Structure 1
Amino acid sequence: MSEAQHAAGTLTLLPAAEHPELLPETVRSALPEGAWVTAIDPDLADTAALVEAAGVPREASANCVVVAGRRDGQERVAACVVLASTRADVNGAVKRTLEVRKASFLPMERAVAESGMEHGGITPLGLPADWRVLVDRRVVETDWLLIGSGVRRSKLVVRGADLAGLPNAEVVDVSMPAQ
Structure 2
Amino acid sequence: MSGATTPGLPRLGDLAWAPALDHPELLAPTVAEALRAWAGRDDRVRDLVAVTEIDPDHADTATLNDMHGLPPEASANCVVVAGRRGDVEQVAACVVTAATFADVNTRVRKLLDARKASFLPMDRATAESGMEYGGITPVGLPAGWRVLVDSRFAAPDVLALMGSGVRRSKLLMPGELLCAMPGVEVVEGLGVAR
Common fold by TM > 0.5: yes
User: What SS does the aligned partner of 1:30 have?
Assistant: helix
Q: Which of 94, 112, 121 in structure 1 is aligned with 2:126? A: 112
Structure 2 stretches lacking a partner, 5+ long: 1-6, 36-44
Aligned to 1:148: 163
Letter aligned with residue 170 of structure 1: E
Secondary structure of 1:167's partner? coil
What amino acid maps onto 1:11 in structure 2?
L
Aligned twin of 2:192: 176
Q: Residues 121 and 149 of structure 1 are in contact (CA less than 8 Å); yes or no, is this contact kept in structure 2?
A: yes
Within 1, Cα distance between the matches of 2:179 and 2:10? Answer: 18
Equivalent residue number for residue 138 of structure 2:
124
1:38 CA drift (Å): 0.3
Q: How far did residue 2 of structure 1 move? A: 7.3
Bigger shift: 159-168 or 108-117? Answer: 159-168
Contact 1:129 1:167 in 2 (8 A): no
Letter matched to residue 183 of structure 2: N
Q: 1:48 aligns with which of 62, 69, 83?
A: 62
Q: Which amino acid aligns with 2:106?
A: G
**Aligned-pair Cα RMSD in Å:** 1.5
Q: 1:3: Cα distance to partner? A: 7.9
Bigger radius of gyration among the two: 2
1:37 positional shift: 0.3
Matched AA of 1:176: V
- What does the per-residue CA deviation read over 1:80-109, in whole Å, with 9 as the maximum and x for residues that have no partner? 000111110001111111111111100011
Distance, in Å, in 1 between the alignment partners of 2:152 and 2:102 is: 12
Which consecutive unaligned segments of at least 5 residues does structure 1 have? none
Identity %: 58
Partner in structure 1 of residue 4 of structure 2: none
CA contact (8 A) 2:9 2:50 kept: no
**Which residue is equivalent to 1:90?**
104
Query: What secondary structure sits across from 1:29 in the alignment?
Result: helix
In the alignment, which of 6, 10, 16 is matched to residue 4 of structure 1? Answer: 10
Instruction: Work out the CA distance in 2 between the residues paired with 1:77 and 1:147.
Output: 19
Deviation at 1:163, TM superposition (A): 1.9
**Contact 2:160–2:178 (CA<8 Å) still a contact in 1?**
no
Aligned residue runs from structure 1 range 17-56, under 5 A = 17-31=21-35, 32-33=45-46, 34-56=48-70
State whether residues 69 and 104 of structure 1, in contact with CA within 8 Å, keep that contact through their aligned partners in structure 2.
Answer: yes
The TM-score normalised by the length of structure 1 is 0.93
